Amino acid sequence: MAPLIEVRNLTKTYQLGEVTVRALQGVTLAIERGSFVAVMGPSGSGKSTFMNLLGCLDRPTSGRYLLDGVPVETLDRDQLAEIRNRKIGFIFQTFNLLPRMTAFENVELPLLYKSAETPNAAALAQRMLAAVGLAGRESSLPSQLSGGQQQRVAIARALINRPEILLADEPTGQLDTHTGAEIMEIFVRLHRDRGITVLLVTHSDEIAAYAERIIGFRDGRVVSDEPVGIAAGLLNGQREREAREGAR
């Protein structure tokens, strides 16, 4: 089976006034369906650009991006919007809830832009909120919710159209350690129970430790790509076995 995400020789060049910024300089990698990937790297390393491209918010300057077999670089504005709506859920560091809308209305938002009407949309939005532990807070405004609660609303919003990919840009960056850990638990559960592919950008090694694979960026290139955690353990075990067998 083809990987969910496959990029080949992806580049992105910006023109900032006189200066040409080469944000991505040829990235090639594949991400399997159902993986949990952390993207790390210093600021300016191109990781945000990479995530924007994966999120179909932007198009590459050159190279290929196959999302579920579809060459994204050939799609127009509205086709990209359609893909974002159906296949991708975004989680932002600053939550990005609409301040004048209730939690319920924020969660419901992606349904408004879906091409087909969703049956029982209201009930679905209720269920999504309940699933992130916010039953009863439907009519609260974002300003009446704590940071952790706001991020839960954002997660419910990201999940309502049953996307295959969750793209999280420093989702715990504005939360305290405890709340951050709670949010990460939600990601782990989603990944484990529903097989959602999770990609998250983070500066924190603790957060990255929740992932199965860490991709390191520097100067617009991938500089490291390693399995971690349980996956790394399995892999390491295999390597040790191979090493022992090799020694024999």
Partner 1 sequence: MRQLRSSITIALRSLALNKLRSALTMLGIVIGVASVIATVAVGSGATQRIQEQIASIGSNLIIILPGSTTSSGLRMGTGYAVTLSEADAKEIPAQCPAVALAGPVIRGGAQVVYGNNNWATVIYGVTPDFMALRDLSVARGEEFTQSDVDSANKVALLGKTVVENLFGAADPVGQTIRIKNVPFTVVGVLTPKGQSVMGQDQDDNILLPISTAKRKVIGFNPANADAVNVIMVQARSGAQIDAAQEEITALLRQRHHLQPGELDDFSIRNMQEIFAAQEASSRIMAMMLAAVASVSLVVGGIGIMNIMLISVRERTREIGLRQAVGAKTRDILTQFLVEAVTLSIAGGLVGILVGMVASVVISRLAGWTTVVGPGAVLLAVFFSALVGISFGYYPARKAAYLDPIEALRYE
Q: Which residues bind partner 1 (CB under 8 A)?
A: 52, 55, 57-58, 77-78, 81-82, 84-86, 90, 92, 96, 98, 100, 109-110, 112-114, 117, 157, 161
Nearer to partner 1 (CB atom), residue 1 or residue 20 = 20
| Integer Cα distance of 103 and 139 in angstroms | 6
Helix/strand/coil for 106:
helix
Minimum CB separation from partner 1 for residue 242, in Å? 44
Nearer to partner 1 (CB atom), residue 163 or residue 216 = 163
Strands 19-31, 5-16: pairing kind: antiparallel
| Integer Cα distance of 248 and 237 in angstroms | 17
Rounded (10°) CA dihedral 54, 57, 62, 63: 20
Minimum CB separation from partner 1 for residue 74, in Å? 17
| Integer Cα distance of 78 and 107 in angstroms | 22
End-to-end Cα spacing for the chain: 36
Nearer to partner 1 (CB atom), residue 112 or residue 223 = 112
| Integer Cα distance of 85 and 20 in angstroms | 32
Nearer to partner 1 (CB atom), residue 116 or residue 230 = 116
Q: Which residues pair with 214 in a beta bridge?
A: 38, 226
Nearer to partner 1 (CB atom), residue 56 or residue 198 = 56
Q: Which residues pair with 70 in a beta bridge?
A: 67
Nearer to partner 1 (CB atom), residue 3 or residue 96 = 96
Minimum CB separation from partner 1 for residue 146, in Å? 20
Minimum CB separation from partner 1 for residue 77, in Å? 6
Helical (H) or strand (E) element with 31:
strand 19-31
Show the CA angle centred on residue 64, arms to residues 63 and 69, nearest 5°. Answer: 180
Minimum CB separation from partner 1 for residue 241, in Å? 45
Nearer to partner 1 (CB atom), residue 90 or residue 210 = 90
Per-residue tokens: 213: 């694979």
Minimum CB separation from partner 1 for residue 92, in Å? 7
Q: Which residues pair with 10 in a beta bridge?
A: 27
Minimum CB separation from partner 1 for residue 221, in Å? 21
